[in-house]
Structure 1
Amino acid sequence: MTEHPLDLDEVQAFVRIAELGSFTRAAEAMQTTQAAISLKLRRLENRLGCRLIERTPRHVQLSERGRVFLDPARQLLAAHDHALAAFAGVRQRLIIGISDHVAGPELPALIARMNDHDPHLVVEIRIGSSGDLLQSYDRREIEAVIVRLHAGRSDGDLVTEEKFGWFASPNWQPRAGEPLPVATMAESCGVRAMAAQHLDAAGVSWTEIFVGGGVAAVVAAVTAGLGVAALAPRMLPSGAVDVGARLGLPELPRLPVLLHTRVREGRARAALDALVDAYRSAVQA
């Protein structure tokens, strides 16, 4: 028994010669030359230490050892093809974290865009705060995150910058002499920190009227008329109005949205680029 692994090209050459009964036809089937086919067979015979094909001027035929080896050779090639087919059928998974302030009403369309780009890619979307998602990213639990600029970090690629404003329901009115009621997210939220910083810097007295576990909850509080919230316009339901100028509230800056990813090439990167392009178009529309 040979101690050297069999070369699949050499095994395939042997099987083609045996099945077609000709070096020339075997070469045509494998899209190579007769000389190359002969070389492959000779190398295989050297590996096995025996002659597999008996060559005559008129035709070729299997030797006794060749007849013994033919079925195992076919099984080896079939197993190889089966392994490749099974691997090709495995659906690659891409885990993406998207900040709650970034994922908006366009999310279904963005997911559809990724699926249209590569239907065989399994995309797992995780929604959370920028800070929590970045921690998961740093622990290598997520391959890519799209988040707001996070304090203390200088990595990430700029996707876009998004406008923010102070929004309330159309019929909401502040109460004279009382602090501004603000609906916001938990203290770890970067948008909350930004809004509080600007209110404090402007000397605006404010109080926390509602704390939501996500942007959808904050939007619901605004719709219910509880108070005002710092939000991106695209997050708002129909009818909400910007009350910043009317109430003399400080103007809010445009906030950067960044992509952090270790995915650099291949199908996953192409799908991720499609998602980023679609998101950028939605924000800038």
Structure 2
Amino acid sequence: MSAPLDLDQLQTFIMIADTGSFTRAADEVHRTQSAVSMQMRRLEERIGKPLFEKEGRLNRLTEEGEKLLGYARRLIHLNRETLSAFDDARLEGTIRIGTPDDYADRFLPEIMARFTRSNPKVEITVICEPTPGLAEHIKRGNLDLALVTHSEERGQSEVVRREPLLWVSSANHATQEQEVLPMAFGRPTCVWRRAACDVLDRMGREYKVQFTSFSATVVAAAVLSGLAVSVLPECALRPGMRVLGEADGFGALPDCKIGIMRGHTMRPDLVDALVRHISESLDNISVPAIEEGGSFDFAALAFARAKRLKPSNMLPGGW
């Protein structure tokens, strides 16, 4: 039987990917840099594949390294979950989390399942509102934590995921070809709406805001019915949508940054635990599975993805 993987080596491997540095990872795991390097050599020997490759003065994760990273995160999380199941001092209490409805639909099932398995005695209260409202709840002490669309203007949030913001239309209608482009947006305070309007203005494209709603479901319905074009992050794509790119005459949009805002809470232990589960869950969530054949323009989506550079790939020595 093959020997099992060493969890300490996997933890160090994850820390290198997260910090982008062998040196910083060594500090985090309280080992010398030479010990960290030795761990990675042994892990490569165990896997039988190179996990890093040199690119100038940088070390880059290989394709095999990227593949291992996903498995490593899941193994470390399962280890924590197993230990929590036998911990008599498991967390208890209530935690209040807020998130826009599109993030709730895409991310909460994974987050809540993971957190509840590890912390079955914690009650979770969820509020779904647009990001500006959630920021107000955080300021007033009504929420312990909020998963929001990151904006420098609204205050500090910790960015935990970055996705391309995409122009979307119906795959079954030619809405984007109308002379005056009908648009469906969130409310005027929505950062995606402002970004889209800025791009349309620079393009000199005539448009009108046909639908305004704080509900992502309503905006998606307007798109799918062929009544409007909108902008959505990759995680919010649905079957029947078409991604519009430069070939369709649409300029590039800034990335969507998903962040965490922390409130002033009497239970920082609960908040820290949930933040850890959110980060681990978002690392394991990929683009929605949508079949090819007209659902959306995969070439445009691939172009949008290619514009992003994932920080962990290059490692030195809404609403």
TM range (shorter): 0.5 to 0.7
Q: What are the Cα deviations for residues 116-168 of structure 1, in whole angstroms up to 9, with x where unaligned?
A: 12111111111111111001101111111111122424522121211111111
Instruction: Read off the aligned partner of 1:171 and give its amino acid letter.
Output: N
Q: Which residue of 2 aligns with 1:15?
A: none
Alpha-carbon distance change, 125 to 273 in structure 1, aligned in 2, over 3 angstroms: same
Output the CA distance in 2 between the equivalents of 1:231 and 1:239: 14
Deviation at 1:276, TM superposition (A): 2.8
Contact 1:172 1:227 (8 Å CA) reproduced = no
Q: How does 1:262-277 map to 2 (within 5 A)?
A: 262=263, 265-277=268-280
Bigger CA drift: 233-242 or 160-169? 233-242
Q: Which residue of 2 aligns with 1:228?
A: 229
Instruction: Read off the aligned partner of 1:212 and give its amino acid letter.
Output: S
Alpha-carbon distance change, 106 to 154 in structure 1, aligned in 2, over 3 angstroms: closer
Output the CA distance in 1 between the equivalents of 2:203 and 2:105: 29
Q: Which residue of 1 aligns with 2:252?
A: 251
Contact 2:95 2:123 (8 Å CA) reproduced = yes
Q: How does 1:1-285 map to 2 (within 5 A)?
A: 91-174=92-175, 178-262=179-263, 265-282=268-285
Alpha-carbon distance change, 100 to 203 in structure 1, aligned in 2, over 3 angstroms: farther
Output the CA distance in 2 between the equivalents of 1:99 and 1:177: 30
Alpha-carbon distance change, 121 to 179 in structure 1, aligned in 2, over 3 angstroms: same
Q: What are structure 1's unaligned runs of at least 5 residues?
A: 1-87
Alpha-carbon distance change, 177 to 105 in structure 1, aligned in 2, over 3 angstroms: closer
Output the CA distance in 2 between the equivalents of 1:184 and 1:163: 17
Q: What are structure 2's unaligned runs of at least 5 residues?
A: 1-88, 289-319
Instruction: Read off the aligned partner of 1:205 and give its amino acid letter.
Output: E
TM-score with structure 2 length normalisation?
0.56
Instruction: Read off the aligned partner of 1:253 and give its amino acid letter.
Output: P
Alpha-carbon distance change, 197 to 139 in structure 1, aligned in 2, over 3 angstroms: same
Output the CA distance in 1 between the equivalents of 2:191 and 2:152: 8
Deviation at 1:273, TM superposition (A): 1.4
Deviation at 1:245, TM superposition (A): 2.7
Alpha-carbon distance change, 270 to 184 in structure 1, aligned in 2, over 3 angstroms: same
Alpha-carbon distance change, 124 to 175 in structure 1, aligned in 2, over 3 angstroms: closer
Contact 2:144 2:271 (8 Å CA) reproduced = no
Instruction: Read off the aligned partner of 1:112 and give its amino acid letter.
Output: A
Q: How well do the aligned residues superpose, as a CA RMSD in angstroms?
A: 2.6
**What secondary structure, in the 3-state scheme, does the structure 2 residue paired with 1:105 have?**
helix
Alpha-carbon distance change, 177 to 261 in structure 1, aligned in 2, over 3 angstroms: closer
Contact 2:181 2:206 (8 Å CA) reproduced = yes
Identity %: 23
Output the CA distance in 2 between the equivalents of 1:131 and 1:94: 20
Instruction: Read off the aligned partner of 2:209 and give its amino acid letter.
Output: E
Contact 1:118 1:267 (8 Å CA) reproduced = no
Mark the structure with the bigger radius of gyration: 1
Deviation at 1:90, TM superposition (A): 10
Instruction: Read off the aligned partner of 1:116 and give its amino acid letter.
Output: R
Q: Which residue of 2 aligns with 1:36?
A: none
Contact 1:174 1:180 (8 Å CA) reproduced = yes
Contact 1:168 1:228 (8 Å CA) reproduced = yes
Instruction: Read off the aligned partner of 2:97 and give its amino acid letter.
Output: I
Report the count of equivalent residues: 198
Output the CA distance in 2 between the equivalents of 1:206 and 1:130: 25
Q: Which residue of 2 aligns with 1:45?
A: none
Output the CA distance in 1 between the equivalents of 2:287 and 2:178: 38
Question: Which has the higher relative contact order, 1 or 2, with Cα contacts under 8 A spaced 6 or more apart?
Answer: 2
Contact 2:94 2:122 (8 Å CA) reproduced = yes
**What secondary structure, in the 3-state scheme, does the structure 1 residue paired with 2:95 have?**
strand
